[in-house]
Each structure stands twice: as structure tokens, then as C-alpha cells.
Amino acid sequence: MADGTRGTVQETLVMARYGELFLKSEPVKRHFIGMLLRNIRKALGASGLECRYETPRGRILIYGSEPELVAVIVSRIFGIIDVSICHRTSTDLADLSAIALSLAVPRLHAGMSFAVRAKRQYKTGLNSQELGMEIGSHIYDNIPGLKVDLDTPDFEVFIEVRDFGGLVYERRIPGPGGLPWGTQGRVLVLLSAGIDSPVASWLVMKRGCEITHLYLDAGRWAGADVTAAAIDNHRKLSLWCAGNPVSLVVANSEPLFDRMSEQKVQPRYRCVICKRFMLNVASRMMAHEGALAVVTGENLGQVASQTLANLGVVADSATAPILRPLITYDKEDTITIARRIGTFDATPGDLACRAVPKMPATAAVLEEIHELEQQMAIDELAAGACTTLRFVTALDGRITEDHSDHQP
């Protein structure tokens, strides 16, 4: 059996495939692939990996040491659909068959099923199907008792024959898809300690946005673990743009809750006023942060402040466009993404807001809210919240800087 596995592997490399960029015009595609390569380089550089790159049509080939680690890092880069560790060889059938067999031998034994997925780029010689059948026969003849199953095989081996040579691989590690980070401009994400807003942040990153996070710290009105949990969400999200530092701006919203309490604002209006305040503060920071939109994890009907009527009242306080990536998601769908991206925390601690009333208003009346806010001098409070800020920088899953009392 060993004889049939002796093919010439020239090199082991990591192949990344990108998706939607194909839909773009040539100059835009070139720009986006440039950004994708820049992001890959930065992410690998952040882990101390030096690599060499080639970009044949539709693929990025990455040569360097530690292909397993390279594959894991690149599978977290936005724009990438999947990643494979490939053995590069000649386009000769003998070499391709031998390497395919060498991958199959440790994985397959009698009674198991397999499939060969072959793709050829050019038009001479065997076509893709014939190539697959030839290589399949080689595996079949050398490992006794196998079955071919093209639908749900126990083992798959992939062959690509391209103008530069042959690639053989057995695994496709899924990437996040989307567009390269940095191709769509910057957004300011209202990031909380909860489950939704980290997912919203990840989804806009996935569509190519650079992010700045904004967290409003309600001080003694917030649960004991809220600030630490929000900072941890920020830290975890930085793993998705490795090599690029991400800022979290922390603003103090405790005076807002104190003012609502002093002025005996009906508790049922607190949630709507709180959410309006966040958008008010965010809108004031947009220009300074270079952001083009504000992002929230709001979701239709999830809580009382997110009825359709209240979402309108809340939006009225923003001067910036609002993006709500989760507006139609079921909570289960959001949780599934949160688990996959690593932001879900099963034991989040004390995150309870002390200001939430038993019966929040589900249909606040804008005129009434405006009047209450005027009595509270809300714009003065919002301007005040923007004057003393704390900045927390996260890079590659680590908090790197945390400096207080910075004036914007």
C-alpha cells in the first residue's frame, strides 16, 4: 500500500477562499483583495508569523511555517469563506493520486465511505469528473473494503488542478464570510454587558466596518459586574480584527439616573429616556470618532423599550443614522452567533439594572418625553457625559491601555 502514497509534495501551504468580492467590478475587487491581504498580514504578524503570499484567481495562498496556526488565524478574517491546509504538488495524475491516498490512509479503513472532489482550471487532459474517478480508483484499489459515497462520505479529499500546479487537501475550515474589515468606514457601536450588542458589533465588522465601542457606565445604578462584562465583550471582539487596536469609550451616565430620581420622573419612562440619552451621547461623539453611523443591539419587541412605538421615540434623539443589525432576530439566533464568536457568557454575574421599573412604558409619547427631558436639562447632562471619558484599548484579545479622564 505504501508505494501508492509516494507523491512529490513540493510545499504545504494554506489556501484561503473569498466570496462576495467576486461580485465587484475589477478596480473595487483589487482594492478589496488588497485590504483582505493587509488584514491577513496584520493578523499573522500579530502572532509573530512571517509568510509569503500569492493571489491566483479567487484564492489567497499563504506559505510559511506553522500552517495549522495560520489556518486558524485566517479562518477568523472577514471576507474569507473557508481555509484549507493544502499539499502543493505537480499537476501529474500520479502525484495527485499518491498524495490523496496518503491523506486517506490514516483516515479510512474497511467499511468506510469516501468521495474525491476534483476541480480543474484548464481544458486539456482529463476533465474534473474523470480526474476525480481516476484518483478515487487509486484510493479504492489501495485500501480494501471501501465504499464510494458522494453525498455523505466519511472522508472527502479535494483536488484542485490550476495553472500553477496541483493542490490536495482534506479539510475546509469555515471562515466568517462578509467583507474585509475596513472597507466600509467606521461605526460607533453602543456596546453593553449583554448578549445582543456584541453580536451586533460583530455583524457590522463582518460587513466591513471598523468599530469604536461606546459604553455608558451607570455607576451605582448598574449591577456590580456590568462594567467588567462590557469591557470583556470589547476584549473578545478585538480577536476578530487581530492586529488592529479597538477603542472602547466609557462615558458616565450615573448623573442621568440621579437626575431622573431627584426630579421624580415616572419610573415607567426611565428605559426610553435612558436609551435616548445613549443615542444623544453617541451622536455628539460621531465626528470626533470619525464614525458614519451608530449601531445598537436593539431588537423588535425584545423588551419594553423596543416596541415599534418606542424605537421611534428613541431614534428621535439621534442625529446620526442608526444601524440595528439584530432588529428581526429571534433571541435564540442571536445566542447561537454569540456562542460561535465567543462572546456568550453562561455565568455573567450581576448585570441587573437598578433603574428598570416593574412596568416600563411600551408606547411613550414623544411630546411628553421632550418635556420631561427639558425639565431635566438633558442636553447639559449629555454634554457633561462627553467631557470626562475613559478610554480602554483592546488588541488581539488583550486590554492594552486603560487611561482615565481623557478630554475628547
Instruction: Return the residue of 197, 244, 283, 310 that touches ligand ATP, per CB under 6 A.
Output: 197
Residue 307 is a binding residue for ligand ATP (CB under 6 A):
no
Q: Give the shortest CB-401-to-ligand ATP separation in angstroms.
A: 20
Which of Mg ion, ligand ATP, none lies near 278, with the C-beta cut-off 5 to 8 A by kind?
ligand ATP
Interface segment toward ligand ATP; rule CB under 6 A; list 66-74, 144-152, 155-163, 188-196: 188-196
Min dist CB 251 to ligand ATP, Å, is 8
**C-alpha cell of residue 262:** 431627584
Minimum CB–partner distance for residue 261 and Mg ion (Å): 23
Nearer to ligand ATP, 2 or 346 (CB): 346
Q: What phi and psi, each to the nearest 5 degrees, are found at residue 222?
A: -95, 155
Does residue 337 bind Mg ion (CB under 5 A)? Answer: no
Residues 6+ apart with CB under 8 A from 3: none
Residues 196, 232, 289, 345: which binds Mg ion (CB under 5 A)? 196
Cβ atoms 71, 174 nearer than 8 A: no
Q: Which stretch binds ligand ATP (CB under 6 A): 78-86, 146-154, 191-199, 342-350?
A: 191-199
Residue 32 partner contact from Mg ion, ligand ATP, none using kind-dependent CB cut-offs of 5 to 8 Å: none
C-alpha span between 30 and 33 (Å, rounded): 5
Site for ligand ATP in 274-293 (CB under 6 A): 278
Q: Kindly tell me which residue out of 195, 205, 318, 376 binds ligand ATP, with binding defined by CB under 6 A.
A: 195
**CB nearer ligand ATP, residue 53 or residue 344:** 344
Q: Please, which of residues 96-115 interact with ligand ATP by CB under 6 A?
A: none
Contacting positions for ligand ATP (CB under 6 A): 190-192, 194-197, 214-216, 278, 296-298, 303
Positions touching Mg ion (CB under 5 A) are 196
